Structure 1
Amino acid sequence: MAPGMLDPRFSDPAAAPSGWEEVETVLATAGTYWLTTVRADGRPHVTPLIAVWYDARLYFTTGGGEQKARNLAANPRVALTTGSNALKEGLDVVAEGAAVPVTEPALLELLSGAWVAKYGEEWRFEVRDGAFWHEGGGAAGVYEVAPAKLIAFRKGGTYAQTTWRLE
C-alpha cells in the first residue's frame, strides 16, 4: 500500500505519517467498531457493532428490521470507526465507503469462520439463503465496505492525521 498523506493542519510538526501495517492491525484486531449511517431524513445514526477486516475490506452484519439496515437500503454510504478511547495514546481509524450486501456463499462461509476466529463460538453463523443465520436469532445480512478513504489519528506524543484515498 502506498504511504498515506500526512495532513500538516492536524499534525505535530515533527510527526511522521502512520504506517499502513499499523492501521491494518488496528482494523483487524479491534473488538468494537462504530457504524455511522444516514437516516432517510438526513440525520446520522451511529451504533456500535462487531466487524471483521478481511482482504482490505470491513464486514459487518445487521438484521433486516434494524435501523441501520433501513438506512443502508436508501443510502449505502457509511463510516466505520475504531481505535482507543484514551485521549493521549493510541491510533483511531475511520474507514469511509459504501456498504454493499454480500450474498456469495463461498465468501459468506469464509467470513463465518472469520467471525468465530475473532469473536469465539458465540458468534458462529450458519450460511443460508445469502445471509448469516444465528441460532435463535434469525437472519442477518452481511455488508462489505471497501474503504474509499481511510483516516488514521495518532494520539499522544506527536499527534498525526494520515489519510489514504483508495478510490
Structure 2
Amino acid sequence: MTVRPSARDAGQRKRDALERLRNDEDAWVSTASPEGAPYLMPLSFVWHDDRLVMATRKNNPTARNLAADGACWVALGPTRDVVLIESTAEVLASDALPDDTGAAFVAKLGWDPRGRAAWVFLSFRPRRVLAWREANELPERELMRDGVWRV
C-alpha cells in the first residue's frame, strides 16, 4: 500500500509553486491553432518580474498560435506535483526583450537568442494558477484567479 503525503495548505502550495517557477528549467506549453488544432511543446523558461519568459523559433507552431490568440496553458512538474498556469502570452521580437529580462534568461539557461532574427521570445502573464500533488489537494488547488494570488 502506497502512503500518500498529507495535503499542504494553500500557503505552502504557493511557496512550492513559486519555488518550482524559480528553479525548474522546462515546461510544457499547450496552444491551439486558429482552426482549433492542439499543439504541445516543451520549452525552457525563466521566471522574471512575475512572468514566464521562453524563446523559440518564430516559425514554430507555438509561436504562431500565440501570435494569433495568446491563450495557452503551461504545465510544470510531474503529474504528482503539478503546477498548471493558464496564461496570456505575448510574442516579442528577439531584440525586443528588456535588458534585465534578457540577462535573467541568459543567466539561468546559458544561451542567448537575443538579436537572432529567426527567434522570438514568449512572455506569459499568468491569469490562473492551479497546484496539487494528490486528490486531497484538489478542493483548494486554485492559487491564482484573474491574475491575482488568492493566497
User: In structure 2, what is the equivalent of residue 145 of structure 1?
Assistant: 124
Give the TM-score normalised by the residue count of structure 1. 0.71
How far apart are the structure 2 equivalents of 1:146 and 1:54? 11
How far apart are the structure 2 equivalents of 1:71 and 1:106? 19
Unpaired runs of 5+ in structure 2? Answer: none
1:17-96 aligned at under 5 Å gives the runs 17=10, 18-84=12-78, 87=80, 91-96=81-86
Question: What is the letter of the counterpart of residue 53 of structure 2?
Answer: Y
Instruction: Provide, for residues 43-66 of structure 1, a one-character-per-residue CA deviation record: whole Å limited to 9, x for no partner.
Output: 210010101111211111222211
**Aligned pair partner of 1:165 in 139, 142, 145:** 145
Question: What is the letter of the counterpart of residue 132 of structure 2?
Answer: F
Question: What is the letter of the counterpart of residue 141 of structure 1?
Answer: V
Question: What is the letter of the counterpart of residue 89 of structure 2?
Answer: A
How far apart are the structure 2 equivalents of 1:151 and 1:141? 27
For the residue of structure 2 that corresponds to 1:24, the secondary structure is: helix
Identity %: 27
Give the Å deviation of 1:105.
6.3
Over 4 Å off, 4+ runs: 12-15, 103-107
Q: Is the 8 A contact 2:86 2:128 kept in 1?
A: yes
Q: Is the 8 A contact 1:102 1:108 kept in 2?
A: no
CA pair 84-115 structure 1, distance change in 2 beyond 3 A? same
Give the Å deviation of 1:142.
1.1
CA pair 159-66 structure 1, distance change in 2 beyond 3 A? same
- Which protein has greater RCO, CA pairs closer than 8 Å, 6+ apart? 1
**Aligned pair partner of 2:108 in 114, 118, 135:** 118
Instruction: Provide, for residues 86-108 of structure 1, a one-character-per-residue CA deviation record: whole Å limited to 9, x for no partner.
Output: x4xxx211111111134596853
Q: Is the 8 A contact 2:43 2:54 kept in 1?
A: yes
